[in-house]
Amino acid sequence: MVVDSARIRVTNCFFLHFTTQGILVRRGHESFISNTFLGQHPTVGGSSEEKGFSGTAVDLDSTDNAVTDVVIFSAAIGVVLRGQSNMITGVHCYNKASTFGGVGILVKAAQNRIDDCYLDYNSIVIEDPQWVHITNGYFLGDANVVLKSVSGRVSGLNIVNNIFIGDPNRMVPTVHIDGAFKDVNQVVIDHNSVNGMRLKSTTGRMTVAGNGTRWVADFSPLLVFPNRINHFHYSFYSKGGGGGVGEFPVHAVTNISRNMVVVESEKAVQALVSVLVDQNNMFGDENVVAI
């Protein structure tokens, strides 16, 4: 336990057989934890006792700390962040699988960064995400990011440039919403790659072909937040005009509800309609309620 301290180093250590916390940092700031192994039970993974793992390996109830190059091999929760301005880098969490109720990294405070971490069959859970950055991560075995609503607000969240690998028979979403978020702004979830999981994003693009008067681009399987399109842009390409030589078909977006964009034309025409949408409210934008 580190209490009311500043500029403390915990490095090259091995913590075993803890029942509550392996490392607890309370108040103070600038504790650096690095090159350390933590586990409640000695295991290299796949333990028959995994369902019963308890405790928290690293509990940061403090600000301005760094956890770097740490392996957590058995605990109910790998890392919990209760304070702001912490940096988590190069942490490998295979402490307890999500299917057994385990959590890799639990974020309970704003303004934290998670970079270059390996979530091994468990997830990052963020409560009311505000000013949280997750990047360059490797998520294996249906590991994902869970956005948990407490007060229904998410702001300043970036989840970018991560790799997600899972079971194609389950198709677990890369980002899961637990509860309803009424206030959503400055959220960017994009540029992630996926194999065997369902990609979720706050941006989407689609081209719809058809011969008629109505084209529907359905982004509901892709977009993170339900019934929310903040910005949209579309292009309309028709071959042969809209009824006569030299004529241009009249067309417009007529609906953006339920994460679908509907484009309609005045006359039947063979056309390609390309649509780009996002759920990223910025300062100055109102929180749009779909029409």
What distance in Å separates the CA atoms of residue 62 and residue 30, rounded to the nearest whole number?
9
SS (H, E, C) 213-282: EEEEEECCCCECCCCCCCEEEEEEEECCCCCCCCCCCCEEEEECHHHEEEEEEEEEEEEEEEEEEECCCC
290 domain residue, yes or no: no
Check residue 282 and give its pLDDT: 79
23 and 142 fall within a common domain? yes
Last residue of a domain, one of 195, 219, 248: 195
Check residue 240 and give its pLDDT: 67
190 and 211 fall within a common domain? no
261 and 171 fall within a common domain? no
Please, what are the averages of pLDDT over each run of 10 residues along the chain (291 residues)?
88 96 95 97 86 96 98 98 98 97 98 98 98 99 98 97 98 98 95 98 97 97 96 91 67 96 95 96 63 49
Domain with 21 in it? 2-195
96 and 64 fall within a common domain? yes
180 and 221 fall within a common domain? no
283 domain residue, yes or no: no
Specify the pTM: 0.92
291 domain residue, yes or no: no
177 and 244 fall within a common domain? no
Check residue 245 and give its pLDDT: 55
Check residue 17 and give its pLDDT: 95
65 domain residue, yes or no: yes
Check residue 248 and give its pLDDT: 82
286 domain residue, yes or no: no
User: Which CATH number covers residue 124?
Assistant: 2.160.20.10
Biggest alpha carbon–alpha carbon distance for the chain? 81
- Domain tally, the chain: 2
Check residue 283 and give its pLDDT: 67
